[in-house]
Amino acid sequence: MLILLPPSETKKTGGSGPPLDLATLALPQLAPPRDAAVTALVALSAHEDEAARVLKLGPKQRGEVAVNAALREQPTMAAIDRYTGVLFDALGAASVSAPGRRWLGAHVLVHSAPFGPVGALDMIPAYRLGAATSLPGLPSLRRLWAAEVTGALSTLAPRFILDLRSEAYVALGPVPAGIPSRYIRVVNEGADGIVRALNHFNKHAKGALVRRLAEDRPRIGSAAGFLSWADAAGLRVRETDGAELELFA
């Protein structure tokens, strides 16, 4: 099973790893669009006012421009540790056991805007770039990434993909049509019996789900296998139209 996670806008600063080396990231065939995105982001960051406008940064966020300007020189840390926010706080990768972290490294990709999908343990720097941003000199990120990411995922040929990304990042790399997959939607059933999608708890539930998977380290190769594991783990998950799974928070 391969799990696709969205990134987070908020990130830890610093790190103890060496500067960014695109050749070491998962899916090495994505090196050309990665280099193009990083080059464009660094070039944009040479002009603070323009960068703040393009990235939609407020006065208190302008320090993010300097972070992007040093993208190729700043220290790195594992992607699963770099991101913060509701999903990654619920996942709590820093406190996952060593076997669990190895499992995350083997089964999880985090889909970033400047680097595309990276392995959970791939070393990346801090940055500021969202899926909807258009970088000067490049096509939209959707045009830059979508076909390239779909093609790269197809070369991995996983037996099953569990897609926990937001819809904005799904658009930057749709799952290949030939690979069995399910998109996770987090829902809640109200007292009236109506099932509703959640927002804030959506991220928390996804992070908690991935942590439980890392702790259990199951061998899952299909949607049926995932449903069987979830039931045994005490999670309420149901299949809807064959393309989505509803995870009850």
Give me the amino acid identity at 220.
I
pLDDT in tens, 56-84: 999 999 999 999 999 999 999 999 999 99
- 197 has a pLDDT exceeding 90: no
Q: Where are the domains of the chain?
A: 2-248
- pLDDT for residue 192: 79
- 200 has a pLDDT exceeding 90: no
Q: List alpha helices for 20-160, DSSP H.
A: 31-44, 48-55, 63-69, 79-82, 86-91, 98-107, 141-156
Least confident of 12-16, 114-118, 200-204: 200-204
147 phi and psi angles, rounded to 5 deg: -65, -35
Give me the amino acid identity at 43.
A
The residues, ordered by sequence, that sit 6+ positions from 129 with a Cβ below 8 Å of its Cβ are: 37, 41, 55, 68, 112, 113, 114, 135
pLDDT in tens, 31-47: 999 999 999 999 999 99
pTM of the model: 0.95
